[in-house]
Amino acid sequence: MAIRRSVPLLNTCLEGFRPSAPNRTLTFTVIFCICTMLVLPISVGDETMTEETAMNHNSDTVLDVMVIDLPCDNETLCESSRPSHLVEYFGADWCEPCQPLELMLESMASSDVAIIQHHPSIIDLTYLNYSHDKFANQYRLLFIPSIVIDSSGLLTGSEQGMELNHSLSQLETNFTGIDDLSMSNGILYWNTSTNLDLTVWKMRPTAHEFDNRTHPALAVDMTVIQNNQTVYNLSEWTNDSTTRLVFVLHEDKAKYLQSISPNPTGAKNLNEPDGEFADFLSHDGSYDLAIVAFVALVLCLLPALIWFRKLQKQDPLEAE
């Protein structure tokens, strides 16, 4: 009687088993079922994450924008107006490519578009820390000059920046959220149907550091009014040099910007590092679950494959 050689633990329940074509089919069927059970949750999870990302992207745009120009036509009551777009320009006085963009912005009609000019560079004498926070943390920008439209569209560099008028003509907005907003003798009265706070940007004319010209409306300060403060005293915060107040209703969190330039480089998300290899190494984690599941699948199937190979090589006399 032949002495049975030792077999792996997984083979103990199949003692006396002799490999045959039908049994191989059964083995492959079991392996296929295991693969299906592991891969199916991954596919469902990826679909869920994609839908969630899309929802977050859609909810990141600004909700409402109102503007009050100072001094008011009526000395006692300042009525607000709702622009069609919010344009946030990030530049610097030391930036040579910024000059043509700034001249273009000065020529634009200010009644239809609310323009906030930011100086986020710490090298500038007119540097504003609130503008830097907007540039680096909320919009996660890298380059100057940059133009952000309605907290969602991005134009980077002077070449794309010159496409601003074309981009505005292609975009549609539906600002809503602020029910009413007005000022009387420096007191702000406002109401909203949302639970969001109100961000107020103060602008005033500011001399250029190097050129013999003046920025007509540079952001010089910012304040946040809580949702429940429907009556707020701004008389001490504003002064005679203040020319415009821009009121923005939006969620105070990082925004996901998408380049809207028709140029070939416009389709690239400029929030990501440049280069294909850098993009691969600095992935957003969307496929981490798939990698982990694949490694776990290989580890689970490895003993079964070893056992199957041993069955193929097993001497028929030992199975009798």
Residue 102 pLDDT class (50, 70, 90 cuts): very high
- Tell me if 73 is assigned to some domain: yes
Which structure tokens are listed for 60?
């990141």
122: left (phi over 0), alpha (psi -120 to 50) or beta: alpha
Q: Which residue segment(s) compose the domain that 100 sits in?
A: 63-274
Q: What are phi and psi of 198, to 5 degrees?
A: -110, 125
pLDDT at 240 over 80: no
First-to-final CA distance of the chain: 10
Residue 252 forms part of a structural domain: yes
Alpha carbons 91 and 68: distance in angstroms, whole number: 23
Structural domain contains residue 308: no
Using the 8-state DSSP alphabet, how is residue 137 labeled? I
Mean pLDDT over the full length of the chain = 77
Among the listed residues 72, 109, 63, the one whose alpha carbon sits nearest the alpha carbon of residue 238: 72
**Which of the given ranges, 117-126, 268-277, 296-305, 307-316, has the highest pLDDT on average?**
117-126
Helix spans in the chain (H): 21-58, 98-107, 129-133, 157-161, 164-170, 276-281, 288-313
Question: Which pair of tokens denotes residue 231?
Answer: 């009556």
Type of residue found at 6? S
Instruction: Check residue 90 and give its pLDDT.
Output: 97
With respect to residue 279, please indicate whether it lies within any of the assigned structural domains.
Answer: no
- The single residue listed with the structure tokens 């998300």 is 269
- Alpha helices (H) in 148-275, listed in sequence order: 157-161, 164-170
pLDDT surpassing 70 at residue 183? yes
Which CATH number do you get for residue 160?
A: 3.40.30.10
pLDDT given at position 17:
38
More confident residue, 253 or 224: 224
pLDDT reading at 6 higher than 90: no
- Structural domain includes residue 38: no
Q: Is residue 301 part of a domain?
A: no
| Overall number of domains in the chain | 1
What sign does the dihedral 198-204-208-212 (CA atoms) show?
positive
Q: Is residue 15 part of a domain?
A: no
Please check whether residue 311 lies inside any domain of the structure: no
